[in-house]
Structure 1
């Protein structure tokens, strides 16, 4: 089949969670189908970096997406009927590039990568056999959790938290309506976990047959444990994630204010390394003698491998955590919240990692791994086995190709009728 994939950012090099997913799903589709990728690229260097992909399939780039000021986002949050995510990547040049491709070729399937690109696939509704949406999260659920977390303190909250909570409250309502519309409009919707599938099905029960789980994964042949575990120090923890992503900011704020003081009482010299792109003002205010802001690095592997404990203190979010899967694949000793492991089926507390939700319990779990490296090695080995058996990208690609095999049959029948 001829497939057109619509991406919100370049999938190569695959440094972010979304880019990793797009990169591997595109790789899998290109093995069996004639694939074209239409993607935004922020600059010429980013477009040029896609050269390795051009050897496997056709790649078309559009400069962008266009920036949106905070003022414009604030106005649309209040006035626009659509959620912020549906407005984020609106671009006339991208729409024109899509129209040119659709005029020049007949695509059997147009697949939008993430909800930000859904409206472009809807443009192709009458010009293709099938439209598919790859949902990175059940977005309304993510914003619901963010609103409930941010507004927990009521009007006594700091102004920034109150504004963030109101934003999420508004977006929760708008996303619920928008995702209902998409569930009805698209032929198939890919989700990363059974939890996200159930959350979206609650919006439109009749859409159950459209929802297919294609989990996030890890390239376990490449993501492996390093030669030295814990060489950054026996009291060193690491947190990895995009530092402009609100669930990550909430996790860091909670960990540094609620958990770190308890760790300080139990063990001298504890420190947290914060690794990730786009560290803004909020993250910078958390830096201290015990919290080192590393920022973006060419590879997070030395930090995951070198820390005594990998912490995932998420309290809001959805989907599944690619960095957690990578840490497990590297046999890292992990302490995570229940929210962090949601979406990764089969993970068990005390077998693959330690799970704790309250500050005291989280601190005790971290100290336990620092004091007992052998336990960390045992958990790490079991964690890697679990990822190899259930979350290798090859298994996810097989799930995707199984769906496309089902899609190809009605497409072939339609061709015969022409």
Structure 2
């Protein structure tokens, strides 16, 4: 519930995508941050909606907010609008989220409620923090998005490689500039934070912090009785995630084309299920004998609970993957790529299995299927790791400290 005490400070919270329902990676983090903030502040939330289906959830946010302002984004129109960045010499991500009504609301709500502290979730939302009256500004970048675009560039051909490389360069300049101006900036892992720290002065770098993701280990628990969604047959492999997100599309495409055939040489009856909302035509085309693409499901947990193995073959990954933490919380053995394992606590071979190449993935999956006792051992260790290292409340207490929850005035 929102903190309605007249003694509670007001706080501005800006999010690039409505933080409800928490059904994908960024929304899981932004929603849990909202819950923690609501316990200490009167939260004024400004957010965008890029999926019309999310509009029905707007009223639910009042449970955690004193007030909120929602602006619609039409992704196709926003992409066209973002091209203004080419003329202005700025990253396209910035005009994509530039909105006069949002800026007017921010200015008005800060003035009317004497708001002194603000938290922006994701780099592009920092553009709204340049407001008179704000005495403390914190940015949760989550990941260094500029590095993601640079990584995309290496995977694409011209002209997209040029466009992505340009986006990486321009967005990094924006991220660096705001990290220099903000009172504190946070990232999901130390590795992501270090990518920016090395380009800052010692004083500026001291304001960069890592605040890891968490997982609801009571909700994602092997103790729940969940109906088996799979048909009878051989070993079950599963991947979960939003299937309109290019790194996820790349991951399942690589798995189906380069990894799964090798597994089927040893286990011809193995099946692979891709679970997640908004599968693109490229993802749907992967479906076939022994390969299922579910689309949106009401609950991902049954698909995790009854899988023999969870795979996360992400070749492009920033920060800690919520999909990996959720599978581990369900006590499932997980085979992760080296990129997806970056920043993850625990040890390879004890809490999860790391595979860097297609042949390593084949070997790890085949060996896990052949030795279910060892796979179960890894799954149990994975859940213990989640319980000891990945509590949302414990991690986000650090973010609340940086925002200034430990003081009544700006630090």
Normalized against structure 2, the TM-score is what? 0.90
Q: Which runs of 5+ in 1 are unaligned?
A: 152-160, 413-418
What's the CA shift string for 1:331-363, capped at 9, x where partnerless?
A: 11111111111122x221110111111111101
Q: 1:41 to 1:228 in 2, by over 3 A?
A: closer
Compute the displacement of 1:238 (Å): 0.8
Distance 2:368 2:327 in 1: 15
Distance 1:55 1:284 in 2: 37
What's the CA shift string for 1:350-407, capped at 9, x where partnerless?
A: 1011111111110111111222221121111111111111111111122223323477
Residue 285 of structure 2 corresponds to 285
Residue 166 of structure 1 corresponds to 162
* Match for residue 131 of structure 1 among 131, 137, 144: 137
Determine if the alignment matches structure 1 residue 24 to structure 2 residue 32: yes
Compute the displacement of 1:21 (Å): 0.7
Determine if the alignment matches structure 1 residue 219 to structure 2 residue 216: yes
Q: Secondary structure at the match of 2:328?
A: helix
Normalized against structure 1, the TM-score is what? 0.88
More helix by share: 1
Quick check: 2:13–2:119 contact (8 Å CA) kept in 1? yes
The RMSD of aligned alpha carbons is 2.4
Residue 158 of structure 1 corresponds to none
Distance 2:304 2:160 in 1: 31
Distance 1:410 1:104 in 2: 18
Compute the displacement of 1:74 (Å): 8.3
Which range moves more in the overlay, 103-112 or 87-96?
Answer: 87-96
Quick check: 1:109–1:128 contact (8 Å CA) kept in 2? yes
Residue 99 of structure 2 corresponds to 91
Distance 1:253 1:76 in 2: 33
Q: 1:43 to 1:84 in 2, by over 3 A?
A: closer
Residue 395 of structure 1 corresponds to 394
Residue 141 of structure 1 corresponds to 147
Distance 2:159 2:149 in 1: 13
Q: Secondary structure at the match of 2:356?
A: coil
Residue 416 of structure 1 corresponds to none
Residue 198 of structure 2 corresponds to 202
Q: 1:283 to 1:167 in 2, by over 3 A?
A: farther
Q: 1:134 to 1:17 in 2, by over 3 A?
A: same
Quick check: 1:143–1:168 contact (8 Å CA) kept in 2? yes
Q: Secondary structure at the match of 1:262?
A: helix
Number of equivalenced pairs: 399
Distance 2:256 2:194 in 1: 33
Residue 380 of structure 1 corresponds to 379
What's the CA shift string for 1:87-131, capped at 9, x where partnerless?
A: 222222222222221231111211111113121123x2x221111
